[in-house]
A and B are shown apart, each in its own frame.
Chain A
Amino acid sequence: MMPVVELRGARKRFGEVEALKGVDLTIGPGELVALLGPNGAGKTTSIALMLGLRRPTAGQARLFGLDPNDRRARSRCGVMLQESGTTGVLTVSEIVDVFRAYYPSPLPTARAIALAGLDAKADARIGTLSGGERQRLYFALAVCGDPEALFLDEPTVGMDVETRRAVLESIRSLSAAGKTIVLTTHYLEEADRLAHRIVVIDRGVVIADATPREIKSRIPSKRINFRPETALGASTFNGLPVQNLEIADHRVHLLSNEPEAVLRALFERGVVVRDLEVTGADLEEAFLGLTRRP
């Protein structure tokens, strides 16, 4: 089946900075993919290439097998961008109506507004919306054309807990209805809960591309946290399976897949451990483990 998104050896240079250094990524119909990475990693640039908002310096970007600027490809996509604005003087339903006209078979206006949880604000001028409501409006604009694929760049930024939950619920139901969804997010537990597939991008390259479970198994699963009785140097941990070692304020933080082995070795090396905590590392930490350079 024709992939929805195809980046092949995609590079993007902005002046001196190479934002993408050869990304290969194929996303098929119905996938729900989360792009993760620290700020400036190249997530937004990747989405911009997929949508034709930027042209690759080298390599290729295809959308539904077409040039991303092709109107036939665009007509199958709904988009929510981080850096975009809209007029303040139209009402929510007026602007949703305009965007519906861009698509061949759009949703009813009220349905699109409901998916974004903006029913109460349908007749409000856009200029009067709060930041979170504005985000929801952009979500409504992304879904109003009933597109096959949704591209959501940091969709829940600035939303309160309640709306975030509602929008995530909408994303989940759209995915269940067979839509292809590509999103970037800083709320990593969001990606963990939502996505079928996580693509980790760091410094312009894909460093991991797997299910949330695989990502988790590949990276340190436990976080160890203790106060040593006497000051320690990093050399104490030589040869041990630890990552993200931090020694500060008389406390030691580290991540490991084998916490028992690490602790046993520390005891053997004569380290006296106080206030020990061993907890499960969440995706955020997992992710740090993947992106942190030695």
Chain B
Amino acid sequence: MTTPAVAPVLNMLLAQTRSELLMRWRVPAFSVTNLALPIVFFTFFGLPVAHVRRADGVSIGAYLLASFGAYAVGNVMVYGFGIGVANERGMKIDRLMRASPLPPLVFMLAKVLTALLFSLVALVLLIAFGIVAGGIHQTPAVWATIIVRLLAGSLPFIALGFAIGYWSGPNAAPALANLIYLPLSFASGLFVPLNQLPAFIQTMAPYLPTYHYAQLAWSALGAGRESLGVSLLWLGGYTVVFLTLAVRSYRREERAKFG
């Protein structure tokens, strides 16, 4: 028997994902922010109105759970990738990885899997909290639809995270991520329903990626403002924009560091 020339990709991916999960879990700045912050926000903004229903019968509690669910997943993606990648560049982890036999694509895929797993946990915790503490009821199928759609639709925010991570340094990345993601979330009605926001924000919202992302979850409750196709089209467009930025920053870095 001859030794294979390279290690099996699946083994690499599993080992790499495992280590990414451990790294993420052991840094409270990530794990606490990602898992607890949405629940804290929901406690302030959502619990007081959990039992209220809109005129059309939509539960405000469920609506806000969907909103904060969208916020939670975007949060994991933008902060996880943005700050994570910037930090690793700052610590020059990229140089060691670059010299190793690990293909860059597997390295990135492990990060994506890790972020998806973290997002899943964040969503499950948030929804469980809403059910237990807020007495909010929906069928399991509705919850499952919300979770699957939010995970599948998170691609533009993964791209945005990578763009921030490769464009900025370890000191600037947290500020930049906050400066971009918090206003986006607020202006898209993720914290406070849109109809309660100033008129100019209501006009602006339909152009924001977070707005169309949240529609994926709201429409699962019958509270969407546009068809699924339109949401996906917008998200696809934003993915292209953010991915282009990410690839440009990545290439710039490649030329500077490894050219």
Query: Residue B259 at the A interface, CB < 8 A?
Result: yes
A55 CB, min distance to chain B CBs, angstroms: 6
Asked if A90 and B22 make an inter-chain contact with CB atoms under 8 angstroms apart, the answer reads yes
Asked if A87 and B3 make an inter-chain contact with CB atoms under 8 angstroms apart, the answer reads no
Cα A261 to Cα B91 with chains together (Å)? 56
Q: Which of B60-107 contact A (CB under 8 A)?
A: 88, 91-93, 95-96, 98-103
Cα A72 to Cα B6 with chains together (Å)? 6
Query: Residue A240 at the B interface, CB < 8 A?
Result: no
Query: Which residues from A are CB-within-8-Å of B26?
Result: 89-90
Asked if A102 and B96 make an inter-chain contact with CB atoms under 8 angstroms apart, the answer reads no
Asked if A101 and B258 make an inter-chain contact with CB atoms under 8 angstroms apart, the answer reads no
Interface-side segment among B9-17, B44-52, B173-181, B240-248: B9-17
Q: Which of B1-29 contact A (CB under 8 A)?
A: 3-7, 11-12, 14-16, 18-19, 22-23, 26-27
Asked if A98 and B91 make an inter-chain contact with CB atoms under 8 angstroms apart, the answer reads no
Query: Residue A71 at the B interface, CB < 8 A?
Result: yes
Asked if B4 and A95 make an inter-chain contact with CB atoms under 8 angstroms apart, the answer reads no
Query: Which residues from B are CB-within-8-Å of A72?
Result: 5-6
Q: Chain B: which residue is nearest A82 at the CB level?
A: B95
Also in contact, A71 and B96, with CB within 8 A (given A94-B22, A97-B15, A98-B15): no
Q: Which of B18, B22, B101, B102 has the most CB of A within 10 A?
A: B101
Cα A71 to Cα B4 with chains together (Å)? 12
A93 CB, min distance to chain B CBs, angstroms: 12
Query: Which residues from A are CB-within-8-Å of B4?
Result: 104-105
Asked if A79 and B99 make an inter-chain contact with CB atoms under 8 angstroms apart, the answer reads yes
Query: Residue A58 at the B interface, CB < 8 A?
Result: no
Cα A226 to Cα B87 with chains together (Å)? 55
Also in contact, A102 and B12, with CB within 8 A (given A71-B101, A81-B96): yes
Cα A72 to Cα B7 with chains together (Å)? 9
Cα A79 to Cα B101 with chains together (Å)? 10
Cα A79 to Cα B19 with chains together (Å)? 20
Cα A105 to Cα B101 with chains together (Å)? 13
Query: Residue A84 at the B interface, CB < 8 A?
Result: yes
A144 CB, min distance to chain B CBs, angstroms: 11
Also in contact, A71 and B99, with CB within 8 A (given A54-B258, A101-B16): no
Identify which of B5, B92, B101, B259 contacts A102 (C-beta below 8 A): B101
Query: Residue A19 at the B interface, CB < 8 A?
Result: no
Also in contact, A85 and B22, with CB within 8 A (given A71-B103, A104-B4): no
Identify which of B7, B16, B258 contacts A75 (C-beta below 8 A): B7
A167 CB, min distance to chain B CBs, angstroms: 18
Query: Residue A51 at the B interface, CB < 8 A?
Result: yes
Asked if A53 and B100 make an inter-chain contact with CB atoms under 8 angstroms apart, the answer reads no
Query: Which residues from B are CB-within-8-Å of A53?
Result: 95, 98-99, 258
Asked if B19 and A95 make an inter-chain contact with CB atoms under 8 angstroms apart, the answer reads yes
Query: Which residues from A are CB-within-8-Å of B98?
Result: 53
B225 CB, min distance to chain A CBs, angstroms: 42
Provide the B23-47 mask, 1 if CB < 8 A to any CB of A, else 0.
1001100000000000000000000
Provide the B245-256 mask, 1 if CB < 8 A to any CB of A, else 0.
000000000000
Provide the A121-161 mask, 1 if CB < 8 A to any CB of B, else 0.
00000000000000000100100010000000000000000
Provide the B145-179 mask, 1 if CB < 8 A to any CB of A, else 0.
00000000000000000000000000000000000
Asked if B259 and A54 make an inter-chain contact with CB atoms under 8 angstroms apart, the answer reads yes
Q: Which of A194-239 contact B (CB under 8 A)?
A: none
Query: Residue A74 at the B interface, CB < 8 A?
Result: yes
Asked if A84 and B92 make an inter-chain contact with CB atoms under 8 angstroms apart, the answer reads yes
B96 CB, min distance to chain A CBs, angstroms: 4
Asked if A85 and B15 make an inter-chain contact with CB atoms under 8 angstroms apart, the answer reads no
Also in contact, A89 and B23, with CB within 8 A (given A75-B101, A83-B95, A102-B7): yes
Query: Which residues from A are CB-within-8-Å of B27?
Result: 89
Also in contact, A145 and B93, with CB within 8 A (given A89-B27, A104-B4): no
B232 CB, min distance to chain A CBs, angstroms: 35
Cα A158 to Cα B91 with chains together (Å)? 18
Query: Which residues from B are CB-within-8-Å of A55?
Result: 258-259
Query: Residue A86 at the B interface, CB < 8 A?
Result: yes
Q: Chain A: which residue is nearest B4 at the CB level?
A: A104
Cα A216 to Cα B88 with chains together (Å)? 44
Contacts A/B (CB < 8 Å), 13 sampled: A54-B258, A72-B5, A72-B6, A79-B99, A79-B100, A81-B95, A84-B99, A85-B91, A86-B93, A86-B96, A90-B23, A101-B11, A102-B100
